[in-house]
Chains A and B, each alone.
Chain A
Amino acid sequence: MDSNETLVSVRNAQLHYGVGGALQALRGRSSVVKAVDGVSFELKRGESVGLLGESGCGKTSMGRLLLKLEEATGGEIFFAGQPIVGLRGAALRQYRAKAQLIFQNPFDAVNPRFTIRATLSEPLENAKIPVREREGRIIDALELVRLPQPQQFLNRYPHQLSGGQLQRVVMARALILQPEFVVADEPVSMLDVSVRAGVLNVFRDVRDRLGLTAIYISHDLALVRYVCERTIVMYLGRIMEDGPTEDIVHEPLHPYTRALVAAVPVPHPDQSHDPLPIGRGAPDPRNPPSGCVFRDRCPYAFDRCASEVPQLRQAGTRRVACHLF
């Protein structure tokens, strides 16, 4: 597999939502939330990239744009060289088979009235896989995610499975059509710690075995680090920093990334209790600061930050959107 081949290319992607109805508009109060605002990056085939950020930073919106669950209001997204904007009908169905989502909450991601067999048959039906092949494909997918003795699960309902088992089923469903690209949106955030590790290990293992290209969306840098060699840090719809995860963990450059890394809780009694290098309170997304969106919480902000939006620039192994670099 050529590891230099670009599989996904995002160019200046935007997802803007209008908020407030007609009445608000009459009062001149209607506004726009820029959930994703000018995001550009590329994914090589076989690469795993973490999309890291806090609630409202646009990471989930970006994931939805990549899967065309949401239509970009601007910019372009290419998959294997083809634009996905404007895909319809059979071409869209084909794309959907190649690009899959692994949901956050396994209990919300499956129909409680479907058995595991029915849950896993559905994508096969949609892809018009012949009936006689389906059972075998289902068993293969369940074995892939390391559910022991898969047959015993086929006739069970979701509530009869533990969270960890069900998340593996959700993963199996995403993988059953042999996608090239998966977006995993906080796939273990609903699971207990003792079980989480198992699901993460399966995810890593499957990705490596199938050579999947993956986006791992999370607010937890420790988890992203476990799964992804590269991390993209987002804040208020924009990329703040993008680079090798280890570099970001050990020497974060962007002031926001510094605060984020310092805030990650670690399970050791001896750790820094220094105040975080960040101002309190995220800004109103309808009314972000001018210039750099992080400047009102940034301890290093200076005049230029208010007047000029910092572009994402190459700084060594990384890209950083900060006037300091």
Chain B
Amino acid sequence: MSETLLSVRDLKVNYRVGGGGIDAVDGATFDVPRGSIVGLVGESGCGKTTVARALTRVMADNARITGGQMLLEGTDIAAIPERQMNALRWRDIAFIPQSAMNSLDPVYTVEYQLSEVLRRRGGMGARQARTRSEELFDMVGIEKSRLRDYPHQFSGGMRQRVAIALALALNPKLVIADEPVTALDVIVQRQILDQLRELQTMLGISVILVTHDISVVAYICDMTVVMYAGRIVEAGPMKAVLTRPSHPYTMGLRNAFPDLAGAASGTLTPIEGAPPNLLEPPPGCRFAPRCPFALDICTKVSPPLRELEPGHRVACHRADEAAVLRELAAKTETWLAHA
């Protein structure tokens, strides 16, 4: 269980824009244990999708991996030739996109799209592909008779199930799901998450779940990695990170999130300001301009990710004071005074 399937080390991804470049991911380090679901969480533009895309090496034309390693069972998939990488896709690493509506081809039946993967990538014959397709539909809870339907004939939730079936087609070791339930209603969202967890446990695969929603992380993930402005600010076992957040950004996220289980009178506290422009990132900690606890050093020196307790790592100069900061962070005044 604790054996590592994927180990990302100091990953850097740069987007060329105009004359210069943006380090959308600037030194990401995290592990994905075998048989676990890792939630990669953060807001728009934090680099979470870029990390996910980098792992498949299917990226925008202007994106390039400029540093670091992505060790899948010891093999650095950042360094292998494209041909070798291509052989890994679907077989070892599969991808579930955010919007299954856009990723399925509207002019082909879903069976055709499944068999394309099974036959071309998996080397199966027609009959074998048919059997496997039926098996996959059974796994994700869709009637076999619907294999001959076109994507538009499915509801949003069903299409997402088709996308999961597609990703699982060749028994990958690692599934990367980019906001797989974001476009769905809460009831369908919950049902898809339950399905994903059930299949993940049954097949013993690892999942990287990219999301902006900490409640999705709380519901389904074993580990979580919190990103902010291209960097990892906190990572560790999900329970530890959510119940004892040790980076002020994670603390702030918790305050800003409406909580149906909490008291009605609770106030939501925003984190004032906006993430930095990555064309000119601030020196030091990138959260410092919005952080109510920032010291002088925070605006000058970038804090390294260090281990606070086994497996729980934080990039904050004041990580040792986390318990005290947590108490302060729970008060709205703390954040207002800063604004």
Contact = CB atoms under 8 A, between A and B. Distances in A.
Given A192-B212, A225-B264, A267-B254, A276 B218 contact: no
A210 interface: no
Contact of B253 (A163, A193, A225, A273): A193
A268 B194 contact: no
Nearest to A192: B43
Interface in B231-268: 238-239, 242-243, 252-261, 264, 267-268
Most buried by B among A54, A194, A220: A194
B2 to A, nearest CB: 19
B67 interface: no
B46 to A, nearest CB: 9
A249 B258 CA distance: 13
A219 B156 CA distance: 15
Interface stretch (B48-56, B121-129, B270-278): B270-278
B296 to A, nearest CB: 24
Contact of B264 (A192, A193, A223, A246): A246
A223 B190 contact: no
Contacts of B218: 265-269, 271
Given A196-B270, A222-B258, A269-B243, A263 B189 contact: yes
A220 B214 CA distance: 15
Interface residues on A, range: 35 or more
Given A193-B253, A263-B187, A265-B215, A201 B258 contact: no
Contacts of B102: none
Contacts of A225: 258, 260, 264
A199 B274 CA distance: 13
Contacts of A198: 270, 272
A226 B268 CA distance: 8
A67 B236 CA distance: 48
A219 B190 CA distance: 14
Contact of A221 (B238, B253, B260, B274): B260
A162 B260 CA distance: 28
A224 B272 CA distance: 22
Contacts of B155: 281-282
The secondary structure that dominates the B interface is helix
A280 B260 contact: no
A286 to B, nearest CB: 13
Interface in A115-170: 162-164
B333 interface: no
B190 A164 contact: no
B36 interface: no
Contacts of B267: 201
Nearest to B242: A269
B75 interface: no
Contacts of B255: 197
B239 A222 contact: no
Interface string A287-302: 0000000000000000
Contact of B261 (A55, A195, A260, A268): A268
A314 B276 CA distance: 52
Given A164-B274, A201-B267, A265 B256 contact: no
- 4 nearest A-B residue pairs (beta carbon): A265-B215, A198-B270, A197-B268, A54-B185
11 contacts: A192-B43, A225-B258, A259-B187, A263-B189, A264-B186, A266-B218, A267-B242, A267-B257, A268-B242, A268-B261, A271-B261
Given A194-B256, A201-B270, A268-B218, 10 more contacts: A192-B43, A195-B274, A197-B256, A200-B268, A223-B258, A226-B258, A259-B187, A265-B186, A269-B218, A281-B157
